[in-house]
Amino acid sequence: MKSFHEIQARDLNTPVLQNEIDTKGYVLVRNLLPREDISRALNAITQVLSAAGWLLPGYDPLERMANPDAACGDPDPAFKSTYQTVFNLESFHALPHHPALQSAMKVLVGDRVLVHPKPIGRLIFPNCERLTVHAHQDYRFMGGDPECFTAWIPLHDCPIHAGPLRVVEGSHRAGYVQHADENLHVPEISSDTVLEGDWVSGQINAGDVLIFHSLTVHAASPNLSDRLRISLDCRFQDYWRALNPANLVFSGESGKSWEKTYAGWQSDELKYYWRGLPLAFQPSKAEIEQLSQTAEPPEKRARYARMLRQLD
């Protein structure tokens, strides 16, 4: 597979960043984030995973040696409860707000940067094909305005055999691609779909950030190592552009809430930071209210009703 084209953070400037994203749909920035800041998040996460029995005893949790008997992934209930503990960590939420990442994002979205408040932690057990994320475009999941960008941040050095992300170079230019969803837990682009552009991949290290457009097709490589692959992905956009409010709330049935997320936090700085911004919801609150009464099937109505309650 073709290797990523990479840029050192020290060589990053506005034309370079814009040109990489415009032409390739991604930019791999080496050494954008200080390793100590990455380690802080990894340390907190691996403590949680160790307590959950996901890591082999006798090793430093930072080594991430996987306990194969604990292997699980979304939507397994065992996965969800541990994931929730990881999601609630303050250091996990702090990373997307890192000033170095914000500066890079300002170049792409302008000064009105909205960091979507729900980053996703990927806690990927090795040698579990069913846990490998298949080809998709984030726009399928985020909705709103396609001028939205993802930052994929490994929390440790991630060689190819540990399953880093790979992308189809230039695929954002072909627009939205149909995703199959029948009988699938997560919709994906069928492997029969002909995509324009080459798959590109390579080792991504702690401190590096892979940034890509919401229409760039990407997938994870399989984790063929003996360790968990741990990364975080988060999304950024101009807050005057359309935003799907689903990205701000917990509309599933799990009872998650921002209050529960924040319960153990030391600082208030990053709590509800988006609430004062003039956001352009799509669908609007009035449309969500309507959908909470008319959408089919009834589970969808319930989902919209939960969304509406949290937007009040």
Ligand X SMILES: O=C(O)CCC(=O)C(=O)O
Local structure of 128: helix, strand or coil = coil
The 8-class DSSP code of residue 296 comes to S
Interface with ligand X: number of residues (CB under 6 A)? 11
The 10 Å Cβ neighbour count of residue 218 is 27
Please give the residues from 231 up to 290 whose contact with ligand X meets the rule CB under 6 A.
231, 233
Q: What is the DSSP letter of 235?
A: E
Count of Cβ atoms closer than 10 Å to residue 225 Cβ? 19
In terms of CB distance, is 234 or 288 closer to ligand X? 234
**Least CB distance to ligand X at residue 296 (A):** 28
> Out of 54, 152, 236, 304, which residue is the one contacting ligand X (CB under 6 A)?
152
Nearer to ligand X, 27 or 291 (CB): 27
**Among residues 12 and 133, whose Cβ is nearest to ligand X?**
133
Site string for ligand X, 118-147 (x = CB under 6 A): ----x-x--------x----x---------
Give the β-pairing of 120-124 and 229-238.
antiparallel
Q: What is the DSSP string of 164-205?
A: -EEEETTGGGG-----B-TT-SS-B--TTS--SS-EEE--B-
206-225 residues in contact with ligand X (CB under 6 A) are 218, 220
Site string for ligand X, 160-189 (x = CB under 6 A): -----x------------------------
The secondary structure of residue 13, as a DSSP letter, is: -
Q: How far is the CB of 297 from ligand X (least distance, A)?
A: 27
For the bound state, the minimum distance from the C-beta of residue 269 to ligand X, rounded and expressed in Å, comes to 25
For the chain, how far is it from start to end, CA to CA, in angstroms?
48
Q: How far is the CB of 166 from ligand X (least distance, A)?
A: 10
Least distance in angstroms from the C-beta of 234 to ligand X: 8
136 or 271: CB nearest ligand X: 136
* Burial classification of residue 259, based on how many CB atoms lie within 10 Å of its CB (0-12 exposed, 13-18 middle, 19 or more buried): exposed
The minimum distance between CB 52 and ligand X, in angstroms, equals: 19
Q: State the Cα angle at 214 between 36 and 77, rounded to 5°.
A: 70
Distance between CA atoms of 100 and 106, rounded to whole angstroms? 10
C-beta closer to ligand X: residue 212 or 304: 212
Q: Select 63 or 74, whichever has its Cβ closest to ligand X.
A: 74
CB atoms within 10 A of CB 107: 17
Applying CB under 6 A, which residues contact ligand X? Answer: 122, 124, 133, 138, 150, 152, 165, 218, 220, 231, 233
